[in-house]
A and B are shown apart, each in its own frame.
Chain A
């Protein structure tokens, strides 16, 4: 790949969200904005190849995209019934120069914020929110998103078409929501970003446990969110949580592609830079004294990150953090983790008691492979080997991820040798 081409692809990816967000505001259409940007990309490819990369590639792409928009509107003008509107758009678009554009971008630093809220609007289904966020804000291609989520490309393309159609026909606004609802909307945005991260981190099906590009993309989106809405502790908490989890990426899977538990991971392979950044963010977030779900999860990850060896882990602190998390979320999965932490801090017996209490409160956990895998681990440590084997077998039947399946199979074989 030529250098110009490489720069172009990098810029395209980095600037996609920013440019497309501004174009959507001006054009009032996701499709027109994407088309204009795609055209600009094609122009840039040939121009940069011949004349070298411009000094400010991002602004260059934006300017060219705007010109493409003007051209497209002029071309359409004869066919379009809404001539007056078009005339308005043309005059609106005409005067942009490179400098003006930069000022324009500076004046409206929140275009990406509008975009993020529109993509994650609650009237779109979660799959559509995710696809739209990755496509527009992340600049991923339809093919890339389809591969990442293991869905046929046609399905993904259709999902995007429907979402954009709904935005247009139902009048989903392109604006930052009002103060009354912004809290809920922001929670939905974070949920979308974290879902993208998790899909990358623990792929729910297929061969590879981690699809790194989705993790990287989620972290990038998390950074954008922190940049756009600073001093929002849960945004920092989310970014910190993702960084701290991502720091263990290299150690989480061994050479054979097998899952390595937190206890068994080679901690020298953890990413020190990500840990340092994550820790700083957790502290900054907690100092704002508006504690929340992501901050607590990040704080738990930070306690793990602080321990040089698994046996140095401050389990009492982790138990306390999970206790707080359970108080604010009352989620069965948190109850499961709380029980596992208690098992580490106070012993497997106490842990198992809490775990079984959590499992008895509803069937959400009964269908969750980790519930059975955790229960099996505790039974094994209590030397109740037959029960442990049964629980591992149940866990095995509940996951489709090959790496997770192999992990459980290994544990089952170990048990057989002991029995």
Chain B
């Protein structure tokens, strides 16, 4: 099954992390990605630019509305994601627990809808 691991963290505290420590965390991310790639479990993933760069788009009555900011102001912000392949939820949560930001933020684990048949079954 494919799982999206959504990485939520507190942006201000992430910005306050000293450079050396930040580099070390990036290193951990690279190691995790390499490990997943070797096991054939890595599909894709990326860090996201901060929410100050976010734009929201809505179409209402055929009219496009473009506004500044993220979808919702939350305590923790979406800062990145991994799309992985895992046997089941336990395997997915075990991978999520290895994401460095799990130690300070929250990883939301969401299964992907794989086929139309399964979604409506």
- CB pair B117–A177 under 8 Å, yes or no, is no
Contacts of A82 in B (CB 8 A): 117
Q: How far apart are A32's CB and chain B's nearest CB, in angstroms?
A: 11
Cβ of B73 within 8 Å of any chain A Cβ, yes or no, is no
**Once the chains are docked, how many angstroms separate the CA of A234 from the CA of B3?**
35
The answer to whether the Cβ of A181 comes within 8 Å of any Cβ in the partner chain is yes
Q: Check if B89 is an interface residue, CB within 8 A of chain A.
A: yes
B111 & A178 in contact (Cβ 8 Å cutoff): no
Beyond A81-B117, A171-B1, whether A181 also contacts B111 by CB under 8 A is no
**Do the beta carbons of B90 and A178 come within 8 Å of each other?**
yes
Nearest A-chain residue to B111, judged by Cβ: A170
Distance from A132 Cβ to chain B, minimum over Cβ atoms (Å)? 15
From A81, A168, A169, A181, give the contact of B90 (CB < 8 A): A181
B117 pairs with A172, CB closer than 8 A: no
Q: B89, B94, B117, B121: which contacts A170 (Cβ < 8 A)?
A: B89
Q: A178 to chain B: which residues have CB within 8 Å?
A: 90
B37 is an interface residue with CB less than 8 A from chain A: no
Q: Residues of A contacting B118 with CB < 8 Å?
A: 169
Of residues 168 to 216 in A, which have CB atoms within 8 Å of B's CB atoms? 168-173, 175, 177-178, 180-181
Q: Which of B63-121 contact A (CB under 8 A)?
A: 86-90, 92-94, 109, 111, 117-118, 121
Residues of chain B within 8 A of A169, CB atoms compared: 111, 118
Contact of A173 among B87, B109, B111, B117 (CB under 8 A): B87
Given A169-B111, A171-B1, A123 contacting B117 (CB threshold 8 A):
no
- Among B1, B90, B109, B121, point to the contact of A177 (Cβ < 8 A): B90
Of all chain A residues, the one with the shortest Cβ separation from B2 is A171
- Hey, which chain B residues are within 8 Å of A121, CB to CB? 89
CB distance from B108 to the nearest CB of A (A): 11
Q: How many whole Å from A128's CB to the nearest CB in chain B?
A: 15
Residues on the A chain within 8 Å of B111, using CB: 169-171
Instruction: List chain A residues, Cβ under 8 A from B93.
Output: 123
Write the B26-58 contact mask toward A (1 if CB under 8 angstroms, else 0).
000000000000000000000000000000000
* Nearest-CB residue, chain B, relative to A174: B88
Residue of B nearest to A121 (CB): B89
Chain B residue numbers with a CB within 8 Å of A180 are: 94
> Which B-chain residue is minimally distant from A122 (CB atoms)?
B93
Which residues 135-184 in A have Cβ within 8 Å of B in the complex? 168-173, 175, 177-178, 180-181
Binding site for B on A (CB under 8 A): 81-82, 121, 123, 168-173, 175, 177-178, 180-181
- B interface residues with partner A (beta carbon < 8 Å): 1, 3, 86-90, 92-94, 109, 111, 117-118, 121
8 sample A-B contacts, Cβ–Cβ < 8 Å, listed by A number: A168-B121, A169-B111, A169-B118, A170-B89, A171-B87, A171-B92, A172-B89, A173-B87
Question: Given contacts A171-B86, A173-B90, could you give 6 more A-B pairs where the C-beta distance is less than 8 Å?
Answer: A123-B93, A169-B111, A171-B88, A172-B90, A181-B90, A181-B94
